[in-house]
Every structure is written in structure tokens, then in C-alpha cells.
Amino acid sequence: MAITTHPAGIGAASGDDRQVASSIAALITDAPVPHPTLLKTFGAMMAREFRVLGRNAPSTFIRAVMQPLLFAFVFAYVLPKIGSGFGSAGGGGGAAGGVTFATILVPGLMGSMFLMQGMFGTTMPLVMEFSWQRTIEDRALAPVPISVLAVQKITAGAIQALIGAAIVFPVVYWVHAPGQGPHIAGVNWPLLIVVMIFASTMTASLGLLLGTVVDPRKIQMVFAVVLLPLTMLGCVYYPWSALHVIRWLQIVVLFNPMVYMTEGLRAALTPGLGHMALWAILVALVGGTVVFGALAVRTFRNRVVN
């Protein structure tokens, strides 16, 4: 038995297919298009960061408080108690002008916390996200440019740096020998806010840059090679003006971004003490933030795409 197909049936079927296709195309064209704004997406990513930070709050707090606590205990309590000369100037060999060592230590410790928390809070999550599991790909699927994701990571690291630096104040005020507490008066609040914002952003940008250009397997070595010299030569335990007796070192440390953070904090917290010129501090902090931030966004984008 032969089966025949009427040509009209084929034409009708083709017409129906075209009609269905045109209807689907019309539905797709008229469908509401989602418009996720950069602000909403950025807020959602920051909410995730805060949730993770809150979940790890105990470990984050311990990591942030241990360094200033130990430094304040040793330099502001133990050494003055045993008469090591870190007391006031009246005790012989102390800080010049009757200034306690804790007064010099507060801006230095804050700068140290900016560096450690800003870099650690940005670099270590990157090591996990760029590992063999490639969890960074889930974050890269957000409906925003990859550069926005980089800026979000810098922002999250800067917030952690601000929290770590703020912990220094109560620690040094509470942990010191009698008469060896910090003497902070005449605080320049606008300058302090500007220095803290740019210091935290610059260290987070530096952390993002290191996290994207260094092999994750060697990140611990990089921290040891980078953090220790930056801290020891970052005017944490002495003001930059005191290095005039070692002129070559005073010039060399100008390449250390941490010097400008600590000197800026000294200019804001203890304006009566010697510090670097404000124009040099602000130029270095703003310029360093822009340069490190631009390089970090670029290397992060290239790392994610590749």
C-alpha cells in the first residue's frame, strides 16, 4: 500500500512552523529584560563577604588582636617595667621630649595592621578561589564586569584593614605600664579619615595585586619576604624624622608604602611630634592607591579570563 503525502499538507505544516517560530520570537522580544544594576550586584557581593566575615568572626578577631596586643604588652608594659629605657624621657634613654614609646607605637601599629589585614584579607581568599576548584568562576558569573568584582574584593579587604587598625586604639590604651600610656591630643580628624581610607584601600589593592601575580603555592614565602621588610622598615617603632642620623636609610625607606601610612597617622594623631611633610604623605597615599588599584584590577581580570 503506497502512502502519499499531499503537497498542501507540507505547505500547511511549514506555515504552522513559521507561525510558531514567529510567536516565540515575539515572546522573546516582548519579554521583560532584567536590568541588574551595578549597585545592587555590588551590594549583594558585599553582603556575601560580610556573611563570610561574620561566620569567621572569632578567628578574624584573634588574628587582628594578637599582633597589637603582644607588641603593646612587650614594648609598653614589660620593657618599661624592667627598666629597658623605653619609658619616658625622665627615666633616661626614653623617647625624646618626654613622649612615651606607646605614643610613637600607636600610629606604627595601626599602619602595621593596615598592611597585614589589608593584604591578608585580600590575598588569602584569592589563593582559595584560584585553586584547583576554581571557585572564582562562580563569582565571575555575576552580571557585572570582572573589574567590578576586583573593586569589590579591594573594598572587602579595605574594610578588614579598617577593623584591624581600629582595634589598636583600645589595646594600647589598656595594655601599658603605669605612666606609659599613649598621649594623643589635638587629633586632626579630617586628615585621620583621609589617611585611613587611602591606607586601607592601598594595602587591599597591593594584596589583590600579589594574589593575582604570585603562584598560590609560593604565597607564604612572598608574605615572609614582603611583610617583614615592609614592617621593620616602615617607621612602625620610630618616626621617619629620627632616621636623619642614617641618611641613606632615610632615603631608601621612601620606597616603602608603609612609611607614608605610619607618618600620615602620626601627623593626624600626634601632630605635635615630628613627621613627614603632609603633601608628600598625601601624594604617596593617593598615588599609590591609584597605581596599585589599577594594576590589581588589570591583573585580576587577566587572571580570571585566562
In this predicted model, what pLDDT tens digit does every residue of 125-165 receive, in sequence order? 887 777 766 777 777 777 778 888 899 999 999 998 998 88
What single string gives the DSSP state of each residue in the chain? Answer: ------HHHHHHHHHHHHHHHHHHHHHHHHSPPP---HHHHHHHHHHHHHHHHHHTHHHHHHHHHHHHHHHIIIIIIIHHHTT-S-S-GGGSSSSGGG--HHHHHHHHHHHHHHHHHHHHHHHHHHHHHTSTT-THHHHHTSSS-HHHHHHHHHHHHHHHHHHHHHTHHHHHHHSS-TT-S----S--HHHHHHHHHHHHHHHHHHHHHHHHHS-GGGHHHHHHHHHHHHHHTTTSSS-GGGGGGSHHHHHHGGG-HHHHHHHHHHHHH-TTS----HHHHHHHHHHHHHHHHHHHHHHHHHHHH-
Q: Say what the pLDDT of residue 44 is.
A: 82
Low-confidence stretches of the chain (pLDDT < 50) are 1-6, 10, 12, 87-97
Q: Say what the pLDDT of residue 30 is.
A: 60
d(CA 261, CA 105): 13
pLDDT in tens, 79-100: 888 876 554 433 333 444 457 7
Q: Say what the pLDDT of residue 93 is.
A: 39
Query: Residue 64 — φ and ψ, nearest 5°?
Result: -80, -30
Q: Is 204:157 a contact under the CB 8 Å cutoff? A: yes
Q: Say what the pLDDT of residue 49 is.
A: 80
Q: Say what the pLDDT of residue 56 is.
A: 78
